[in-house]
Amino acid sequence: MKPSIQLPNELIAEYSTRDPFQIAFLMDVAVKFINTKRQKGLCAIFDGYPFIFINQNLSEQMQRMTCAHELGHVLLHKDILTGNVPLLEYELFDIRNSTEYEANVFAANLLIDETELNEQIAEGGDVVSIASALDINVNLLLIKLIELRRSGKELNVPFTPERGFLGRIDDRADSIG
């Protein structure tokens, strides 16, 4: 199993939460809010200490998604973050880049409970209504569904998120971008 799928499950089991802010706190990853117009978030390691910076102007939902995504980078891509060079996120969740896609999969697996998702699917919800019910962006939900399908679950995924979708989406759960 890929680390971007397995690691979130291990963290959820260890810390008894899906909250990326709480997990970051418990792992001594500093999360700071910044006032910026374009960036959704960034992460860096300074003097051996990991930091996540999140745009304070985003909705709580988008801040949670950004934190989960950046936490994925901190845990999965430490080699890239060494040397005090931050990963800047202008177009968060760019699916063209494997590093970004791994952080997307990490965030999707951390934030979306598979049992709740299966219940929503069984009730016949479409992707927009399921995303709204789970309080998650529809594009991140699509990534979760694609990964479930890749792991052998029979699912009909209506479409694949566009490349760089989070850079263009509205700050709402049902935004498709």
- In order along the chain (177 residues), what is the average pLDDT of each group of 10 residues? 81 97 98 90 88 94 94 88 55 63 93 94 88 92 89 68 52 47
DSSP string, the chain: --HHHHHHHHHHHHHS---HHHHHHHTT-EEEEE--SS--EEEEEETTEEEEEEETTS-HHHHHHHHHHHHHHHHH-HHHHTTS--EEESSTT-TTSHHHHHHHHHHHHHHS-HHHHHHHHHTT--HHHHHHHHTS-HHHHHHHHHHHHHTT-------PPPTTGGGTS-SSTT---
Give residue 36's pLDDT.
86
Give residue 174's pLDDT.
45
Give residue 91's pLDDT.
46
